[in-house]
Amino acid sequence: MSLALLMALSIMQGDATAAPPPAPDASADAQAAPPGSTETEDVPAGAPTDDYGFVSWCYGALDEYLAIYPRILPDLKDIDKAFGSPVQEDVPYAKDVALEHKALDRFAAAMQATEKASAQPIADQGQADIAQGRGIWAKVEALPSRQLADAWLFWGVPVRCETTAKALTDHARETHASN
């Protein structure tokens, strides 16, 4: 187990609310839960349980994750120098970050489609859920930059964010087509 992983785990164990919950898959293109798992395993504690709220939470958590990236870039470079990386990029994790931006766009599109298809206004609740998602980073962002970088490295978008966003988009299309 790498030193960075041990550090991240110790940070997360020190205060359960101090670090964003880890997810088993950081890939923005994940469309289904890993074999042998269930989507309920992939729902962080405290996240909204309704689909729209959950995708809004995912949007907020991922948006803040992406906002942190430029601040920790020097630390990511240092970590790669110290521990190596199987992926050789001039800017560490640039391809991953680009994929996460696409995921953010998918979440936003799913939220917008759901808002348009909803018979009642839901955008205010969505904004609250986005803020809650961003909030998972609050305590970690107060830590020294290297610890923030370690936590950033080991966080991933829950798989269920992708599958739920797709389901919301599909449902909104069906609702729109039937009207």
The band of 26, judged by pLDDT with boundaries at 50, 70 and 90, is very low
**What are the tens digits of pLDDT across the range 113-135?**
999 999 899 999 999 999 999 99
List the single range of 76-85, 95-104, 152-161 with lowest mean pLDDT. Answer: 76-85
30 has a pLDDT exceeding 80: no
For position 88, what pLDDT does the model report? 74
- For residue 57, give the H/E element and its range: helix 51-83
- Compare 90 and 114 and report the one with higher pLDDT: 114
Distances (CA, A) of 160 to 25, 33, 92, 131: 10, 7, 26, 19
Domain ranges of the chain: 3-178
Quick one: average pLDDT of 158-165?
A: 96
Q: What is the pTM of this model?
A: 0.77
Q: How distant is the alpha carbon of residue 152 from its chain centre?
A: 10
Q: What is the mean pLDDT of the chain?
A: 81
DSSP labels, 61-126: HHHHHHHHHHHHHHHHHHHHHHH--SS--SSTTHHHHHHHHHHHHHHHHHHHHHHHH-SS--HHHH
Residues 6+ apart with CB under 8 A from 157: 23, 25, 26, 28, 30, 58, 61, 62, 65, 100, 103
